[in-house]
Structure 1
């Protein structure tokens, strides 16, 4: 099984992909091509995508059961002891105690006492 998600890519690429896989939503393609065809589709996607982004998820015989490929995507697949996880880049804003780019201003909120 293969899922390919493209964003901001030319319409001609969508036409090429629909020859081999089904478009179930704009920019989301699903199918079961062979590994050779999948690699050809990915190479074609990277070639034609230019300023767009692409994300490919496909099933494999690994412990996790799938692998990822990305092109010009903010999130990067990273190997953690044999487990592939998508790592997001840290934002330039404030970080919480775990190093995430979340804002923790809710903890600094002060409440006024109600008068009775």
Structure 2
């Protein structure tokens, strides 16, 4: 049974965007939306994840989970999907300096 999918991409090769636009619409640059079967969804995702290069991609699709959807990611990114008691949550990766990404240290001089 077909279901709606959303694929968000950043800095992917042009041929990957072309392959996605054959099956999905692109309402905004790098954002692809459509209704496809699970087989087509999996085939599209295998092409995207194998060709993402230095870019990144996120797939969100309907699934039989508590949240009602599943998330798949490919490429280098700061946000990682983690499973927490059956829920998919987003965790920020630590930055290069060893701190949490997005956190800032406040130094006060007295």
Instruction: State the alpha-carbon separation in 1 of the partners of residues 109 and 25 from structure 2.
Output: 50
List structure 1 segments (4+ residues) > 3 angstroms apart after TM superposition: none
Please state whether the residue corresponding to 1:105 is helix, strand or coil.
coil
Instruction: State the alpha-carbon separation in 1 of the partners of residues 99 and 10 from structure 2.
Output: 29
Do the aligned partners of residues 45 and 105 (structure 1) sit closer, same or farther apart at CA in structure 2, a change above 3 Å counting?
A: same
- Number of the residue aligned with 2:80: 76
Greater Rg over alpha carbons, structure = 1
Query: Greater relative contact order (Cα 8 A, min sep 6): structure 1 or 2?
Result: 2
Instruction: State the alpha-carbon separation in 2 of the partners of residues 60 and 16 from structure 1.
Output: 24
- Mark the runs of 5 or more structure 2 residues left unpaired by the alignment: none
Q: As a proportion of its length, which structure holds more strand?
A: 2
- Number of the residue aligned with 2:104: 103
- Number of the residue aligned with 2:39: 36
**How many matched pairs?**
105
Deviation at 1:109, TM superposition (A): 7.9
Instruction: State the alpha-carbon separation in 1 of the partners of residues 88 and 7 from structure 2.
Output: 17
Instruction: State the alpha-carbon separation in 1 of the partners of residues 15 and 62 from structure 2.
Output: 26
TM-score by length of 2: 0.83
Instruction: State the alpha-carbon separation in 2 of the partners of residues 24 and 7 from structure 1.
Output: 15
TM-score by length of 1: 0.79
Do the aligned partners of residues 12 and 82 (structure 1) sit closer, same or farther apart at CA in structure 2, a change above 3 Å counting?
A: same
Two-structure CA RMSD over aligned residues (Å): 2.0
